[in-house]
Amino acid sequence: MFVRTLKKFVLIMMVVVVYQNWGKIENFVHPDPTVSAQVQSNARVTLYATDWCGYCKQTRRFLDSKGIPYTEYDIEKSKEGRKAYEALGGRGIPLIDVNGTLIRGFSPEETLAALK
């Protein structure tokens, strides 16, 4: 009985991990040709977000799916991140700094444009 319950638990945990990392998995299997390796290597992207924000999750998935490396600060948990977020004007999440261009909210088009 215990072994069957443990197997179910492990299976559920695997599904959760795959769901949380779907963007990275998708980019690994099907790299996006619209985002060149040069753009990826020159990208300086910082994401100011929270765990509970739906648009923040969409932004993470988008960046992961395009293979764009980024640094993330949870503005509720990181004092350094909160301070930087407020210095940039704050007011809403996600706040994305792409090579010095600030993008407020989830906007794939603006993010890709700022990377070029």
- Give pLDDT tens digits along the chain (116 positions): 788 888 888 889 888 888 877 777 776 666 666 555 555 556 799 999 999 999 999 999 999 988 899 999 999 999 999 999 999 998 899 999 999 999 999 999 999 999 88
Number of H helices, E strands in the chain: 6, 4
Per-residue pLDDT, 38: 52
Whole-model pTM above 0.95? Answer: no
Supply φ then ψ for residue 67, to 5 degrees. 75, 25
How far, in Å, CA of 110 to CA of 93, rounded?
15
pLDDT of residue 19: 81
pLDDT at 91 (0 to 100):
86
In 21-107, which ranges are continuous DSSP H helix?
22-29, 37-42, 54-66, 79-87
Domain that holds residue 74: 2-115
Look at residue 41 in the predicted model and tell me its pLDDT: 59
Residues ≥6 apart with Cβ < 8 Å to 113 = none
Pairwise CA distance, residues 18 & 23, whole Å: 9
Query: What is the predicted pLDDT for the residue at 9?
Result: 87
Q: What is the distance of C-alpha 112 from the center of its chain?
A: 14
- H or E segment at 7? helix 2-20
What pLDDT is recorded for position 43?
A: 78
Q: What is the CATH number of the domain that holds 33?
A: 3.40.30.10
- How many domains does the chain contain in total? 1
